[in-house]
Amino acid sequence: MTTEVEVAVERAVAVEERPWPPPQGQWTYQDYLRLPNDGMQYEIIKGVLYMVPAPTTEHQRASRNLEFQMWEFARRHHLGEVFDAPTDVYLPGQETPVQPDILFVAAGRAGIIQERGIEGAPDLVVEILSPRTWWQDRKIKLPLYEETGVPECWIVDPDQGAIEVYGLERGAYALLGHWERGEVVVSRVLPGFQVAVDQVLGPAPSSTG
C-alpha cells in the first residue's frame, strides 16, 4: 500500500525530472510554483506561460483609482470584498491561477475567498490594458472569464480613454456599455455603483497645436 509520504516523494521526483522550462502548452501548477519572484507577472493559461514586466505608472494609477472607488462602495454598502493584483484566482476547471488587476467577490460568496487566493469565479474582474498586455487581456483572458462564468468583466483602456463592461447573457459575454472621457460607467453586478472615466484615468492628456 502506497503511503502519502511515498506519493509526495514520487511527485517531487517527477517535478525534478521534468524539462525546465517546459514546452509551451505543457506548463502545470507545479511549474507555476517554481517560477521566480523577480518582478515579472507570470500567468499560465491552458498550459501556456505568459510573462509581462511590472506594470507602468499609468496602469497603476488607473488600478488604484478604480479599486478605491469600488472598495469604498462595496464597504459602505456591505456588498463584499475587493482585491487587487497579485491575487491568485483559481477559475473553475483551470489547473493554474490567473491574476486580474482588480476583482470583486460578493458577500454571499465569501466562502470562495481562501488563504491561497480565490477558489472560484469572482463576481467581477477588471483588466487594465497596456501596450504589453492588451492582446493577452482581450484575446486570452476575456474569453477565459466568459468560459468560466465570471458574471462581469471590465476592460480599462488608458490609451483610448475608454472603459468597456461585458456581462454574461446566456453563457456568453455581451457588451453592456462603452464609456469614454466625460461619461460615467455603471455596473450590473454592483447596482448603484457609478464611476466617471476621468476619475479612473485621470485628466485627459493636453494637446498642443
Q: Give the mean pLDDT of 174-191.
A: 97
- The model's pLDDT over 126-157, given as tens digits with 9 standing for 90+, comes to 999 998 889 999 999 999 999 999 999 999 99
Does residue 96 surpass a pLDDT of 50?
A: yes
Question: Which strands make up the sheet holding 162-169, listed edge to edge?
Answer: 80-84, 102-106, 124-128, 152-157, 162-169, 172-180
pLDDT number for residue 204: 78
pLDDT number for residue 97: 95
Cα-based distances in Å from 191 to 20, 36, 77, 170, 196: 47, 40, 11, 20, 15
pLDDT number for residue 191: 92
pLDDT number for residue 55: 86
pLDDT number for residue 73: 98
- Ramachandran quadrant class, 11 (left: phi over 0; alpha: psi -120 to 50; beta: rest): alpha
- The model's pLDDT over 22-60, given as tens digits with 9 standing for 90+, comes to 999 999 999 999 999 887 889 999 999 998 888 889 999
- Give the range among 2-16, 84-98, 126-140, 193-207 with minimum mean pLDDT: 2-16
Q: Give the mean pLDDT of 186-209.
A: 88
Does residue 209 surpass a pLDDT of 90?
A: no
| E strands in 25-111 | 41-45, 48-52, 80-84, 89-90, 102-106
pLDDT class for 11, splitting at 50, 70, 90?
A: low
Q: Give the mean pLDDT of 2-13.
A: 48
